[in-house]
Structure 1
Amino acid sequence: MATGTGSTYGARDHARAQEGTQVDTMPTLPAGAWPNPPAGVAPDRIVWAETVAGGNYTHKVIARGTELRLTDLAGDACAHVLLYADGRPWERLNAADTVKVLWNAYVGEGHLLLSDQGRVLASVVADTSSRHDALCGTSTAVRNTQRYGDGSPQGPSPAGRELLKLAALKNGLEPRDLPPSLSFFQGVRVVADGKLEFTGSAGPGASVTLRAEQPLTVLIANVPHPVDPRPDYVCTPLEVLAWRAAPTAPGDRLWDATPEGRRAFLNTDDHLAARGIQ
């Protein structure tokens, strides 16, 4: 008779014995059991707590007003982020409008992340990194295969687009639903001759906090930036932490920071009010 995991009963007993164990790069369940909640955030407000390994991805639907903090734990994370109005995937992050409407190609605190409907999907309420990118998008299987020898999602050097495809499929989305993403923690700058200069990371512990201004589907791939010049596939863990809060409201400094931003918030509130979302 087979013993250990060589039998159905043995495999079941082995699997059940793992209950209560925690791997560093898996979600904390319930999220409120996260050991280090942010200052001023009660554990029962935490709705998402996870560490995403380099070369991996995550996704979740979050409510309007939720604050989502991403942290570059060791200094070499790169979070490639896509946002969708939940249940309405045709309204999604538009990187071009995000930089065009707000007259700024370098995402940071106070920036609004816009859809092509002129509405705010999320706002950047805090940023200690300033090393972000709205110009390049994420890596592809073809490019990673050329650089590292493999770009498949299960291989040693997964491409960001391939991981975002997996996250998208788990939310009823298709590859054609993937627009260019924003990259957090590994930045680029446009230099005088028009070329892109890779600025790299701000170092370990840098974080950026987004506030969901609509109910959102969030997709995140943690992979090297596509113009990172290093020959090796370098990507370290990303901390993802979200908690219940309140959306931006009239009178908030973000609401009135620019005429374009104020109009985007008014567009957003008008749309949500008609749908009965406060």
Structure 2
Amino acid sequence: MTTIPAASSTSTTAGAKAHARAQEAEAAASGAPDAVVPAESWAGQIAADKSDVVWAETVAGGSYAHRVLAAGSSVRLTDIAGDACASVLLYNADAPWERLNVADTAKVQWQVYTAPGQLLLSDQGRVLASVVDDTSGHHDILYGTSAEARNVERYGDGAPEGASPAGRELFAVAAAKNGLGRRDIAPSMSFFQGVTIDAEGSPTFTGSSGPGGSITLRTEMPVIMLVVNAAHPLDPREEYIASPLEIVAWRDRRTDPSDPRWVATPEGRRAFENTADYLKGRGIA
């Protein structure tokens, strides 16, 4: 750990500067999770040109990330160690009162389980993002993320700055950084910690598929993306467990009528057509 000299005090400008620079040096030396800036300097692997990378960040357990992304961005989330739980919210970046509707995402597509081809629908019947690849298969669209009261009961703390932060509290912090409030925090989708439903309608927590699982989303509209990495509310383990999550996004393309996903289902086709019509009116298409 970096030690600040005794003569240094954050009550003075010089002392505050020394403290801030020491913290930065300590974080760099420890390899602490952080965003890569500029993103194109990220050292990992993707099929796209590195100059197209627009977001590269490792999110620690019990933390969050957020970004505004253009339409036609690919976003790959990776469960590095096998215990991440990525809860995601999406908003129309130009009109954030339009946001992810997980109920319609399941109901309109007659499918409660996430897989390639699933469309993440807004409350206006448009496609905010689509799932283009998935090597995990362990996800949950039903149970959202944890609440502060539940985490206090289970772990003794649910505050965002505490040892076991609740997902909704972390979402509130990420939302505020994008001009959004608690009233804007809708039910979220969770990736990498699976839940299945049996014939009687009861949930079974299936947990992770193991280290290295990934899911790739394609943004079909300009979006605000909020990501929280917090223990799943149905995780039966006594300890609060959430391992690091990697996020990498790069410039790609939107789905167009030549893509089989566009016409895979009548419901999906209508959602894509609604999206294209909206974007054309906004001058984005």
TM-score by length of 2: 0.93
2:86 matched residue in structure 1: 79
Deviation (angstroms), 1:253:
1.5
Q: Percent identity at matched positions?
A: 57
1:92 aligns with 2:129: no
Name the SS of the counterpart of 2:268 in structure 1. Answer: helix
Match of 2:75 among 62, 68, 71: 68
1:145-201 CA-partner distances (Å, limit 9, x unpaired): 111111111111000000000000110001011110000000101112211000100
Count of residue pairs the alignment pairs up: 276
1:264 aligns with 2:271: yes
- For 1:20 and 1:149, the matched residues in 2 are separated by 29
Match of 1:29 among 10, 27, 37: 37
Query: CA, structure 1 residues 101+250, in 2 after alignment: closer, same or farther (shift >3 Å)?
Result: same
Deviation (angstroms), 1:90:
1.3
2:14 matched residue in structure 1: 9
- For 1:216 and 1:10, the matched residues in 2 are separated by 40
1:219-252 CA-partner distances (Å, limit 9, x unpaired): 0110011101111101100000000000001110
1:251 matched residue in structure 2: 258
Deviation (angstroms), 1:87:
2.5
Q: 107-116 vs 19-28, which deviates more?
A: 19-28
Gaps of 5+ in 2: 1-5
- For 1:237 and 1:61, the matched residues in 2 are separated by 21
- Counterpart residue type for residue 226 of structure 1: P
- Counterpart residue type for residue 135 of structure 1: L
Write the mapping of 1:19-58 to structure 2, written as runs, cut at 5 A: 22=28, 23-38=31-46, 40-58=47-65
Query: CA, structure 1 residues 53+240, in 2 after alignment: closer, same or farther (shift >3 Å)?
Result: same
- For 1:32 and 1:169, the matched residues in 2 are separated by 27
Write the mapping of 1:121-140 to structure 2, written as runs, cut at 5 A: 121-140=128-147
- For 2:163 and 2:199, the matched residues in 1 are separated by 36
Alignment RMSD, CA only? 1.5
- For 1:13 and 1:226, the matched residues in 2 are separated by 41
- Counterpart residue type for residue 270 of structure 1: D
Q: Segments of 4+ in structure 1 off by > 6 A? A: none
1:193 aligns with 2:163: no
- Counterpart residue type for residue 75 of structure 1: G
Write the mapping of 1:217-256 to structure 2, written as runs, cut at 5 A: 217-256=224-263
Deviation (angstroms), 1:5:
4.7
Deviation (angstroms), 1:41:
1.5
1:145 matched residue in structure 2: 152
Name the SS of the counterpart of 2:96 in structure 1. Answer: strand
- For 1:129 and 1:161, the matched residues in 2 are separated by 24
- For 2:249 and 2:112, the matched residues in 1 are separated by 26
- Counterpart residue type for residue 200 of structure 1: G
Name the SS of the counterpart of 1:165 in structure 2. Answer: helix
Name the SS of the counterpart of 2:276 in structure 1. Answer: helix
Deviation (angstroms), 1:37:
3.1
- For 2:91 and 2:243, the matched residues in 1 are separated by 26
